[in-house]
Structure 1
């Protein structure tokens, strides 16, 4: 059955605009058909339907190729704007049903699993996990909606934070690193350490000791993987939340209890804003608090 030709502008659909703008971009029906994954005859019929519906000629076809008519050039501007607005609306609707959770390394467990499951059950939305070296920077750039922030480093004025619970710190060093055969590391001996620090998203660094009272020597790294391999290479010791002891299985590393250390806070950061996206983020914060309370009550945090 032959495709019907729309009569009047009311018969014009988005597929007609996409067909026309793609041909106009490539100046070729062949290349446009390849991009749109349709046959060239079908593409030609779609553009012809658009021209018939408008009652104007948009393209000049010749043996030399395809060119826009004067009317076609003017129509192209409006067609592109219409498609861009539609695509933006679809993207906004998609993002309104998704909370993007940024994190730099191991998510706290079992909090993360419970928070995500509880949120998705309650809202029919979903959580998209986004691994990034600097979750706060990702929050500023709006590539995530909520960021997991460990440790006590300050956040900018553009974000607000929610404290979930505190994690116990442990020490980790290379099995080949020379040192006393102690069963634990003492926080008050920090001045004797060479401390490996993740300066971007680490939980323990110079900011943990006021007035320079911490280690005398630091090895700086820029992300979790660099931190891990620097500790494994024996360049110094690392201090991390105890979740790392359960989740990191590196043959070159040895974990030890850390006595006298302050706990490491786990917080969520989100932007100070209004609207649908932030309303969904608030629902996630509520689910996160519920999950944190459950973990603390069960002694799992």
Structure 2
């Protein structure tokens, strides 16, 4: 049970209260949130305290160790972020500053992204804002993006729809020894040294998995015949450096081989691997409006078809 700091009265709540609370909740710090909002820390503290008093609930736990959300605060934050996103979208529409926010976790696929974005902005007069986030689906649920680029076959939550753009081929990536520039595999190699690896030999691997937005993980082997050892990471950067440190093998779409240049990594062909789908995920009635979203989806599909035809040529 959360102890209420005062009587409940929502009539005095203003947008400044919501923005103040959201900033503190994101930063987990009154000092950093005050710097973001360009106000003094005492003024920010008073604003958040006013919000709690008006609501009659405690949203934040304050201690010498920092700031943490209460259970009520965590639930309230989800609604606050959606409210602020809808308000900002309404302002942009009123000012004819239409924008669609595209969330992605790492390496937008090329040349699809460049073609789709350029065509959409040219034809619609709207801007595509690129939002890098560790978990695009989470950002979609929080309505901090309007559409999310999703790689791999992991299921989405109820209420989220997806459109399939095309498939990417998978490639393996492993650490190489950097000492003296030898190029030899490390002693802690995650799989037998070879010029190519086979998907059916996955049980021999130690696999590094990006649990937030990775394309390859335990879900790829529903019958349990995948790797017996996994190293979990929370985002793409952690995944990349864990592979480079020799903690395991990585499996990624082949776009990574063209775009990632890391002296501690070596890409290895992977045979027998299923393709990795590229999808766009969205809430049908959320974000900047279904009409603008629909036009972006149509443009995205047209660009995907063009890229696929060029690749087959």
TM over 0.5: yes
1:171 pairs with 2:172: yes
SS at match of 1:162: strand
Which structure has the larger Rg? Answer: 1
- The answer as to 2:296 corresponding to 1:284 is yes
Q: 1:127 to 1:240 in 2, by over 3 A?
A: same
Say which SS state the counterpart of residue 289 (structure 2) adopts. Answer: helix
**Partner Cα separation in structure 2 for residue 199 and residue 274 of structure 1:** 26
Asked whether the 8 Å contact 2:206–2:248 carries over to 1, the reply is: yes
Q: Give 1:171 shift.
A: 0.0
Taking the aligned partners of 1:95 and 1:228, their CA distance within structure 2 comes to 40
> What secondary structure is seen at the aligned counterpart in 1 of 2:277?
strand
The alpha carbon displacement at 1:193 in A equals: 0.2
Runs of 4+ displaced beyond 2 Å: 86-96, 176-181
1:250 aligns with 2:251: no
- The yes-or-no answer on 1:295 pairing with 2:311 is no
| In structure 2, distance between residues paired with 1:192 and 1:87 | 50
Matched positions, count: 217
Distance in 2 between the 1:213 and 1:251 partners? 32
Post-superposition CA distance 1:145-164 (Å, at most 9, x none): 01000000000112100000
Structure 1 match to 2:142: 141
Which position in structure 2 is the counterpart of 1:103? Answer: 104
Residue 266 of structure 1: how far off its partner (Å) = 0.1
Which residue is equivalent to 1:112? 113
Q: 1:95 to 1:259 in 2, by over 3 A?
A: farther
- Distance (whole Å) between structure 2 residues aligned to residue 87 and residue 117 of structure 1: 24
Q: 1:157 to 1:170 in 2, by over 3 A?
A: same
Assess, with a 3 A threshold, how the Cα gap between structure 1 residues 276 and 205 changes in structure 2: closer, same or farther: closer
**Per-residue deviation, 1:211:** 2.1
The separation in 2 between residues aligned to 1:169 and 1:88, in whole angstroms, is 37
Q: Contact 1:164–1:267 (CA<8 Å) still a contact in 2? A: yes
Contact 1:139 1:146 in 2 (8 A): yes
TM-score normalized with structure 1 length:
0.68
**TM-score in terms of structure 2 length:** 0.66
Counterpart selection for 1:231 from 220, 227, 243: 243
CA shift at 1:272, angstroms?
2.2
Q: Write out per-residue CA displacement over residues 60-103 of structure 1, whole angstroms, 9 at most, x where no aligned residue.
A: xxxxxxxxxxxxxxxxxxxxxxxxxx988534435871110000
Counterpart pick for 1:189 among 201, 204, 219: 201
SS in 1 for 2:164: strand
Partner of 1:121: 122
SS at match of 1:161: strand
Q: Distance in 1 between matches of 2:111 and 2:296?
A: 16
> Any idea what the Cα deviations from partners look like across 1:123-181, whole Å, max 9, x if unmatched?
01110000000100111111100100000000011210000000000000001334544
Distance across 2 between alignment mates of 1:88 and 1:107: 24
Q: Does the CA-based 8 Å contact 1:110-1:300 persist in structure 2?
A: no
Judged with a 3 Å threshold, the aligned counterparts in structure 2 of structure 1 residues 129 and 94 are, in CA distance, closer, same or farther, namely: farther
Gaps of 5+ in 2: 1-37, 39-86, 178-185
Helix, strand or coil at the partner of 1:213: coil
CA offsets 1:36-64 (integer angstroms, 9 cap, x no match): xxxxxxxxxxxxxxxxxxxxxxxxxxxxx
* Maintained 8 Å contact 2:89/2:287: no
> Is the Cα contact below 8 Å between 1:164 and 1:289 reproduced in 2?
yes
Distance, in Å, in 2 between the alignment partners of 1:148 and 1:223 is 15
Measured on the aligned residues, the alpha-carbon RMSD in Å equals: 2.2
CA distance in 1 between counterparts of 2:284 and 2:218 reads: 28
